[in-house]
């Protein structure tokens, strides 16, 4: 009957491999990341208090109307009314893309996760049922924005509007 032969050599090899693997992983992890150039635009924090600008937002099937469509930088209050028959929502995004070039995904929705869009504020459809009015205050810096409704395929059907902050 043979005695079981111990193989300490094997363990050394395994240990060496393990160390090697860890070292490799470490090297990979420490590779410099390609910085995604996150530019947080400074809010226009002027010393003097800028006046609150009101924007009336009227949502219907299937349109969003802003009044006015150009506002000065600073505090803006959107007064969002659903004058339609079904729930809508109010999604404010910052983007340099023109209104007819916004990224979509299947189902007629705007692709809100697209890197060229930056979510700013939102009034959920639960708060914007038929006949509801919701105020929403935000501080906006200079730039181009869009307001859309992403309920079902409302976006594709025309629920989008451009806003310029100057």
CA distance 158 to 1: 85
Applying CB under 5 A, the span of 25-33, 116-124, 139-147, 156-164 interacting with Cu ion comes to 156-164
Q: Minimum distance from CB of 159 to Cu ion (Å)? A: 5
Q: Judged by CB, which is closer to Cu ion: 57, or 165?
A: 57
The residues with which 105 forms a beta bridge, in sequence order, are: 109
Applying CB under 5 A, the span of 26-34, 71-79, 82-90, 116-124 interacting with Cu ion comes to 82-90
CA distance 66 to 148: 11
Q: Is 128 in the site for Cu ion (CB under 5 A)?
A: no
CA distance 141 to 41: 8
Q: Minimum distance from CB of 127 to Cu ion (Å)? A: 13
CA distance 97 to 37: 18
Q: Judged by CB, which is closer to Cu ion: 76, or 123?
A: 123
Angle at 119 (CA atoms; ends 106, 78), nearest 5 degrees: 110
Sort strands 70-71 and 160-165 into parallel, antiparallel or unpaired.
Answer: parallel
Given candidates 159, 161, 163, 165, which one binds Cu ion under the rule CB under 5 A?
A: 159
At 39, is the secondary structure helix, strand, or coil? coil
Q: Which two tokens stand for residue 161?
A: 């509007």
Q: At residue 156, what are phi and psi to the nearest 5 degrees?
A: -60, -30
Q: Is 88 in the site for Cu ion (CB under 5 A)?
A: yes
Q: Judged by CB, which is closer to Cu ion: 109, or 144?
A: 109
Q: Is 80 in the site for Cu ion (CB under 5 A)?
A: no
Given candidates 76, 154, 161, 163, which one binds Cu ion under the rule CB under 5 A?
A: 154
Given candidates 57, 140, 149, 165, which one binds Cu ion under the rule CB under 5 A?
A: 149
Residues that bind Cu ion (CB under 5 A): 88, 149, 151, 154, 159
């Amino acid at each position: 009957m043979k005695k079981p032969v111990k193989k300490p050599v094997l363990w050394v090899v395994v240990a060496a491999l393990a160390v090697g693997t860890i070292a490799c992983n470490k090297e990979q992890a420490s590779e410099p990341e390609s910085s995604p150039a996150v530019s947080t635009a400074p809010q226009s924090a002027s010393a003097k208090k800028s006046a609150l600008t009101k924007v009336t937002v009227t949502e219907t099937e299937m349109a969003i109307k802003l009044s006015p469509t150009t506002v000065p930088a600073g505090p803006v209050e959107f007064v969002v009314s659903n004058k339609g028959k079904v729930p809508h929502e109010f999604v404010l995004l910052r983007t340099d893309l023109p209104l007819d070039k916004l990224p979509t995904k299947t189902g007629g929705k705007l692709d809100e996760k697209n890197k060229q869009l930056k979510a700013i504020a939102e009034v959920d459809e639960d708060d914007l049922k038929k006949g509801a009015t919701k105020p929403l205050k935000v501080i906006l810096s200079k730039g181009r924005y869009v307001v859309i409704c992403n309920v079902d395929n409302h976006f594709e059907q025309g629920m989008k509007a451009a806003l310029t902050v100057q």
